């Protein structure tokens, strides 16, 4: 469903020297942590730059963020040798008594549920490797639930990496509610370098290792500094009702260069370029610079979604995330993005970088709250090829991640320029394509794949008849949406200037239809909660097929069919089936309503499916 009129629109528009200048300026504000002068000054720098531009509204949102500050920590090996490691407390960690916590160490690799099978870790000190699956907060949550006395996290990077990681274990994604407070893992937690962790593992291979852990942090409320810009196209350019959200996190640890001064710098240059008189902007843009990202588990972007929910729900076509740009040594492009965007992204990527990125399902991590509403998420970046990634212990964003070593020498200017151009192409096309370029056939094919994965993984799926009913309805919807795609192609070769008022009215109806599909399908099939709430940070269940169903099936397998727990879980499973079936019925109704309009409202292609006939 490509529209060729924007194919070369973004060529040579960006001033790369501006991007480099922004990176240097932003990286002067080190440890830009919520509640500090550093992030306040960086926010004022951004606001000042944007205010110098024309046709953009700029302000700083100030609101309470519950954050955490490091005070002290210590990790000391007591036996079989005596040795003290450098360490850093995980934020929101439970403070130990002054004498610390002393126990034997148990290594659980990545620290997921499977790694604990067959282990009794009660009153033990856990050693786990840093990873995204599960993420740091979920590791701490699991260790606490297993009644461990503390958890130590190894940093990633090469085996001799001496950098001590920094992070938080809040587990609650975004702003807190009273119900969330008990979900913060109350367990002492500290970080050590990968080098020291490898030393510990070798000691464990020889026998028992006893360790003393001390951690102390201060949790408190601070006031955020979160700059926002809104570009409203002039009446002469505005044509469509939707808006696009772009953003990157301003709160950053350490030297901040690749995480995330480069991402912020690219946003600033894209905004500057979009506001040139010769650029064509057919949709509104909201640009965000998130506070509370690193420690508050994306508290700033979560606050934004909660507070701007109505407008986002009605009008947002996507959220494009900028993070980890221009890392030296990277050339493998990955896109954690919603399946309905994959075709569009691939088309742009082939034009800009000569190949498609590796597509992965979006994780509910970082600033991806928009997916909970049903707004497609786009996050594309360059990382290391698989063989190098293995050597670096899966350090997706570099061995220097979250440290003072994140300095200007870690930038590859060619990769940074390529990523900037790629994202400008994404944005300029999304602002100008008459019909939102989302293909829900791809989304539905993935759902069919996931249903079959459930059936393959669980030979005796409880109430499999209900799953089969969902599958049949999904297949009906697939045929209907394929027919809609055939119809949309009729408009794919027209520029906005070539559209008359009647055609614009029809396209607006089509776009509203596409937005409605996302608002229904994404919360149902890519979440375990409702569209008004947020899943736990980086919840690993969301990487599984049909997360709502999977989250119940893994629990059901632990109980006998006649047990109290089994029957209660079966009720939960049936309700999740009901949700999925109802969602598919609703999107089928949406398609039927679209197609039930009088025949002369939409022009019917001669070769279109009979589904269009009324």
Task: Tell me the pLDDT tens digit for each residue of 158-190.
Answer: 999 999 999 999 999 999 999 999 999 999 999
Q: Quickly list H helices, 189-286.
A: 194-206, 262-274
pLDDT of 368 > 70? The answer is: yes
For residue 604, the model assigns a pLDDT of 39
8 pLDDT band, cuts 50/70/90, is very low
12 pLDDT band, cuts 50/70/90, is low
Cα separation of 264 and 324, whole Å?
A: 10
For residue 333, the model assigns a pLDDT of 97
Q: Locate tokens 């958890």: which residue? A: 151
Tens digit of pLDDT for each residue in 397-448? 999 999 999 999 999 999 999 999 999 999 999 999 999 999 999 999 999 9
Cα separation of 466 and 560, whole Å?
A: 21
Q: Locate tokens 């320029």: which residue? A: 417
The pLDDT of 254-273, averaged and rounded, is 97
The lowest-confidence range among 55-64, 261-270, 271-280, 558-567 is: 271-280
The pLDDT of 499-521, averaged and rounded, is 91
473 pLDDT band, cuts 50/70/90, is very high
**Which residues lie closer than 8 Å to 501 by C-beta, 6 or more apart?**
none
For residue 132, the model assigns a pLDDT of 81
pLDDT of 147 > 60? The answer is: yes
Tens digit of pLDDT for each residue in 548-578? 999 999 999 889 998 999 999 999 999 999 9
Radius of gyration of the chain (CA): 25
Helix or strand run (H / E) with residue 373: helix 370-373
Cα separation of 566 and 553, whole Å?
A: 10
Task: Rounding to the nearest 10 degrees, give the CA dihedral for residues 40, 43, 48, 52.
Answer: -170
**Bigger pLDDT: 490 or 394?**
394
3-state secondary structure of 472: helix
Tens digit of pLDDT for each residue in 216-260? 999 999 999 999 999 998 865 677 899 999 999 999 999 999 999
The pLDDT of 10-29, averaged and rounded, is 90
Span between the terminal Cα atoms of the chain, in Å: 25
Q: What is the residue extent of each domain of the chain? A: 4-63+224-432, 67-220, 440-612
List the beta bridge partners of residue 287.
229, 246
CATH topology assigned to domain 440-612: Transcription Elongation Factor S-II; Chain A (1.20.930)
Q: Where are the beta strands (DSSP E) in 24-85?
A: 57-61, 64-79, 83-85
CATH number for the region 67-220 comes to 3.50.30.30
pLDDT of 611 > 60? The answer is: no
For residue 606, the model assigns a pLDDT of 41
The pLDDT of 309-330, averaged and rounded, is 97
Cα separation of 35 and 37, whole Å?
A: 7
The whole-chain average pLDDT of the chain stands at: 91
CA 483 to chain centre: 31
Provide, rounded to the nearest whole percent, the portion of the chain with pLDDT above 90.
Answer: 79
pLDDT of 9 > 70? The answer is: no
The lowest-confidence range among 58-72, 412-426, 433-447, 592-606 is: 592-606
The lowest-confidence range among 195-199, 233-237, 337-341 is: 233-237
Identify the architecture of domain 4-63+224-432 in CATH: 3-Layer(aba) Sandwich (3.40)
Q: Quickly list H helices, 316-356.
A: 342-352
HSE-CB for 129 with a 13 A CA cutoff: 19
């Amino acid at each position: 469903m490509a529209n060729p009129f924007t194919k070369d629109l973004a060529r040579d528009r960006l001033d790369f020297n501006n991007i480099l200048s922004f990176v240097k300026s932003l990286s002067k504000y080190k440890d830009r942590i919520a509640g500090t002068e550093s992030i306040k000054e960086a926010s004022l720098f951004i606001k000042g730059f944007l205010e110098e531009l024309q046709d953009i509204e700029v302000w700083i949102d100030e609101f309470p963020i519950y954050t955490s500050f490091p005070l002290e920590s210590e990790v000391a090996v007591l036996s079989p040798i005596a040795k003290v490691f450098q360490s850093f407390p995980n934020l929101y960690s439970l403070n130990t008594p002054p004498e610390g916590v002393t126990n034997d160490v148990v290594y659980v690799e990545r620290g997921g549920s499977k790694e604990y099978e067959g282990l009794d870790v009660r009153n033990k000190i856990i050693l786990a490797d840093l990873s995204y699956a599960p993420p740091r907060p979920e590791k701490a949550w699991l260790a606490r639930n297993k009644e461990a006395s503390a958890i130590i996290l190894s940093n990633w990077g090469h085996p001799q990496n001496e950098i001590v990681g920094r992070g938080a274990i809040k587990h609650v994604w975004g702003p807190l509610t009273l119900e969330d407070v008990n979900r913060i893992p109350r367990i002492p937690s500290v970080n050590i370098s990968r080098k020291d962790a490898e030393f510990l593992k070798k000691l464990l291979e020889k026998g028992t290792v006893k360790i003393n852990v001390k951690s102390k942090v201060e949790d408190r409320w601070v006031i955020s500094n979160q700059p926002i810009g809104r570009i409203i196209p002039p009446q002469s350019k505005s044509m469509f009702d939707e808006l696009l959200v772009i953003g990157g996190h301003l709160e950053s640890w350490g030297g901040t260069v690749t995480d995330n001064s480069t991402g912020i710098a690219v946003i600033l240059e894209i905004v500057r370029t979009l506001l040139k008189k010769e650029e064509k902007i057919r949709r509104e843009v909201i640009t965000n610079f998130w506070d509370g990202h690193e420690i508050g588990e994306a508290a700033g972007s979560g606050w934004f979604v909660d507070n701007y929910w109505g407008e986002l729900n009605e009008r947002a076509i996507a959220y494009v995330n900028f993070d980890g740009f221009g890392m030296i040594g990277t050339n493998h492009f990955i896109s954690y993005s919603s399946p309905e965007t994959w075709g569009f992204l691939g088309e742009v990527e082939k034009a800009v970088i000569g190949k498609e990125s590796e597509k992965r399902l979006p994780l509910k991590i970082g600033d991806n709250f928009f997916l909970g509403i049903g707004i497609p998420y786009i996050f594309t970046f360059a990382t290391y090829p698989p063989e190098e990634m293995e050597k670096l212990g899966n350090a997706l964003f570099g061995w220097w991640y979250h440290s003072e070593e994140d300095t200007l020498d870690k930038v590859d200017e060619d990769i940074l320029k390529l990523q900037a151009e790629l994202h400008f192409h994404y944005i300029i096309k999304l602002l100008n394509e008459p019909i939102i370029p989302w293909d829900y056939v791809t989304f539905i094919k993935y759902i069919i794949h996931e249903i079959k994965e459930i059936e393959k993984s669980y030979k005796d799926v409880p109430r499999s008849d209900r799953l089969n009913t969902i599958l049949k309805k999904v297949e009906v919807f697939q045929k209907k949406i394929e027919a809609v795609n055939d119809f949309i192609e009729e408009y794919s070769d027209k520029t906005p200037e070539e559209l008359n008022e009647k055609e614009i009215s029809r396209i607006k109806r089509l776009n509203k239809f596409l937005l409605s599909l996302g608002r229904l399908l994404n919360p149902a099939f890519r979440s375990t909660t409702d569209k008004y709430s947020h899943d736990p940070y980086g919840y690993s269940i969301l990487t599984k097929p049909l997360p709502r169903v999977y989250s119940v099936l893994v629990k059901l397998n632990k109980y006998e069919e006649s047990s109290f727990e089994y029957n209660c879980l079966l009720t939960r499973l049936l309700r999740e089936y009901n949700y999925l079936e109802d969602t598919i019925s609703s999107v089928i109704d949406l398609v039927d309503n679209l197609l039930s309009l009088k025949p002369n409202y939409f022009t019917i292609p001669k070769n279109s499916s009979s589904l269009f006939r009324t």
